[in-house]
Amino acid sequence: MFARPITHLGPLFVDLAGVELDAEDRELLASPMVGGVVLFARNYVGPEPMIRLCDELHALRTPPLLIAVDHEGGRIQRFREGLTALPSAQFLGRVWAEDREAACRLCRAAGFVAGAELNRLGIDLCFAPVVDLAHRDSTVIGDRAFGSDPAQVAELALHWIRGLESGGVHATIKHFPGHGGVAGDTHHEAAIDPRKAATLERRDLVPFRTLISRLPEISVMTAHVRFPALDPEPASLSAFWIGEVLRRRLGAEGAVVSDDLTMHALDPVGGLEDRTLRALEAGSDVVLICNDRRGAARLVGNLRHPQSPPSRLRLLRLHGTPRRPPGTLSDWPAWQASVRLLAAVQEGGELFTGLGEPR
């Protein structure tokens, strides 16, 4: 079906149904429109099967497909069996209230353990950390936030990112320009934030601005939230938010990733193909198409959108660092020390606050 050699990564990231590749998966992943795979809890039964799956995925194409996962800690940790329990962002924020230096050390340790363990599995990209601010009305963010103070969120997130990337995996800050101010869950319904520009500038945009100034090439995931005081489009489909604010005003140079375009918050916008085109035309480098295999298959057959050389380069930068040899993490002093630190705080507090989304 796709006879010509593929020399780049396409903008679509798709999901898999199970723990092994089947013929349908292989056909979809052969499309030049596909650049990566998003893995979920249903794809994970343990470290060794995941290593085999990631090796197989990476061997399918040149350059290799990117492999991504949500691995925030707390209730959003897709892979659990055989890996270290990671604290929620809220837990880390509570430590900050008592001892800022300890919270920063713990954040770096949590990020490092996540990075080292994901890297060993073969993961390239982690859709974390969340840098949305905590608000009482936002249950979908809730304990996924480091806190309500923008400076605190930025500082803790920076240490978490430094740890993750030292472990060998790239980070993604989310959900730009801020998901914490809405009660609605964009997985299921439209979300509208009526606040004015001055409030967003003073609060929700601060962690993004701070982190991008320190890490210009960090990846950023956009939210399906509408901010009608500034632009009528959801941020994930908005040239204003992506091109004007994120790229020009904040100076972001990394990949822009749209949150899953199958989410019901975008139902008023139109069909999946229309959503995808609008996200790409607004400036997204990556669009996630998950839990809709039929829709993904239609897209790779019908979608026509020119991919710019800078966008292709941004995707290539997302490959993880070469993996350490399998089975050596327990011999790595830095990993041992970080795991001990996490184990010590686990004894004094609840690390997991739920089981997260099971899909």
Q: Indicate if 71 belongs to the active site.
A: no
Strands 172-176, 219-222: pairing is parallel
Q: C-alpha 228: how far from its chain's center?
A: 25
Q: Exposed, middle or buried by CB within 10 Å (0-12, 13-18, 19+), for 306? A: exposed
Cα torsion for 163, 165, 169, 175, to the nearest 10°? Answer: 80
Instruction: Pick the catalytic residue from 8, 185, 187, 305.
Output: 187
- Nearest CA to 40 out of 288, 271, 327, 316 is that of 288
Sign of CA dihedral 336, 342, 345, 350: negative
Give exposure, 33-48, as e/b (b: 16+ Cβ within 10 Å): bbbbbbbbbebbeebe
Q: Return the structure tokens found at 329.
A: 């993490």
How far apart (Å, rounded) are the C-alpha atoms in residues 240 and 283? 10
Q: Label each residue of 241-270 as H, E or C.
A: HHHHHHHHHCCCCCCEEECCCCCHHHHHHC
The answer to whether 176 and 241 have CB atoms below 8 angstroms apart is yes
216 contacts: CB under 8 Å, gap ≥ 6: 251, 252, 253, 254
Instruction: Pick the catalytic residue from 25, 124, 193, 259.
Output: 259
3-state secondary structure at position 38: strand
Q: Indicate if 58 belongs to the active site.
A: no
Active centre residues (catalytic): 187, 259
